[in-house]
Amino acid sequence: EYAGPCPLCGGTDRFHVKDARFYCRHCYPRGGDVIDLVMLVENLPFPDACHVLSGGSFSLFERSEQWDVPVREPEEIASAWLDKKYQSSARRTIGATRTLLSSAQGEVGQAYLQNRGLTPETWNIYKLGFGQTFHPVRRVQQPAIFIPWFSPDGKQITAIQHRFIEPSLEKHERYSLKPGSSPQLFGLHTLTPAETLIIVEGEFNCMALHQEGYQAVSVGSESNRATRNRIELLSDYLPSYDHLLIWFDQPEFGEQFAGELSEQAPFKTRIDIIDVVGADANELLIRGELSQMLGI
């Protein structure tokens, strides 16, 4: 019998493999075989999982009407987080990984967050967690910070982002999403009345600004593309702010995003672009220069 971290919920005291079947006492007590596990972890249909496990030699992977999987429309994918199963699974994951982060076993995660300049109070506000999860590129379990994205009222989880913390990872290998996630705007559940709202890339930049007392949301890493959902969500909040600051790594994407907002959102808010060379909000927080740079 073998035991280790659960690749589904991140728990370290519940996953084991015996007689070619896996079990997780927390999220999959009925157990399953290796095909079930790949289907769950990779969010794949049966023939695709067989194809992965066979190294590409599984004959049924050849497309046929028998094995065709209906293609979901973008709207279906974007609303997958509303599914009760996703919400239940996401809540279990958040609970287990938050518990692990606050324990002695979570010292690696604690050290990582402290090195990013974030305090335990900020961890709790954003319900950050720590655990092992499957790395889709390296194909192994790796330690990660679990970052949940919440609906504006904070009652539902729209996404869980994994920030892998292995130092050797390339930039494009540092993040993955829990299957079924739909990142929209990060940090909406923390907003309170203020004069200025700051829109940034990346969850850590958003958390850094909030920790320093600013109102901030993050669009994630796809700032060069203002989606309809993001515009609609922002249009619900921006009328209450007199001043909007957009802070992206590449100012031209900020200008593009500002243009999309101005054209589509019915509000009269002054919009400015922050252009800081060589540093983002989180880096300035670590250096103790964030509030001084903003001066607001």
Contact, 153 vs 65, CB < 8 A? no
pLDDT of 28 reads 64
pLDDT of 27 reads 61
Whether the predicted pLDDT of 163 surpasses 90: yes
DSSP element (H, E) containing 262: helix 251-264
172: its two tokens: 């494009």
Arithmetic mean of pLDDT, 10-28: 73
pLDDT band at 67 (very low <50, low <70, confident <90, very high): very low
Arithmetic mean of pLDDT, 98-103: 97
Please report the DSSP string for 212-224 in residue order.
TT-EEEE-TT-TT
pLDDT of 11 reads 67
- 35/221: higher pLDDT: 35
pLDDT band at 268 (very low <50, low <70, confident <90, very high): low
Whether the predicted pLDDT of 77 surpasses 50: no
Whether the predicted pLDDT of 47 surpasses 90: no
Question: How many other CB atoms are found less than 10 A from the CB of residue 62?
Answer: 9
The residues spanned by each domain of the chain are: 2-73, 74-182, 184-296
Arithmetic mean of pLDDT, 57-65: 44
pLDDT band at 295 (very low <50, low <70, confident <90, very high): confident
Which percentage of the chain shows pLDDT scores above 70?
82
Q: With a threshold of 0.75, does the pTM exceed it?
A: no
Whether the predicted pLDDT of 74 surpasses 50: no
Fold for 184-296, please state it: Dna Topoisomerase Vi A Subunit; Chain: A, domain 2 (3.40.1360)
Most confident of 5-14, 71-80, 162-171: 162-171
Mean pLDDT value across the chain: 83
pLDDT of 65 reads 41
pLDDT of 267 reads 60
- 161/183: higher pLDDT: 161
pLDDT band at 62 (very low <50, low <70, confident <90, very high): very low
- 213/78: higher pLDDT: 213
Arithmetic mean of pLDDT, 33-59: 72
Q: What is the pLDDT of residues 176-235, one digit of tens each?
A: 988 888 888 999 999 998 999 999 999 999 999 999 999 999 998 754 455 677 777 777
φ, ψ dihedrals at 212, nearest 5°: -90, 5
CATH assignment, 74-182:
3.90.980.10
Helix (H, G, I), strand (E, B) or coil at 226: coil
| Burial class of residue 163 in the structure, from the number of CB atoms within 10 Å of its CB (0-12 exposed, 13-18 middle, 19+ buried) | buried
Per DSSP (E only), the strands in 19-68 are 21-24, 28-32
Contact, 292 vs 220, CB < 8 A? no
Arithmetic mean of pLDDT, 156-180: 92
Whether the predicted pLDDT of 142 surpasses 80: yes
Q: Which CATH architecture has domain 2-73?
A: Alpha-Beta Complex (3.90)
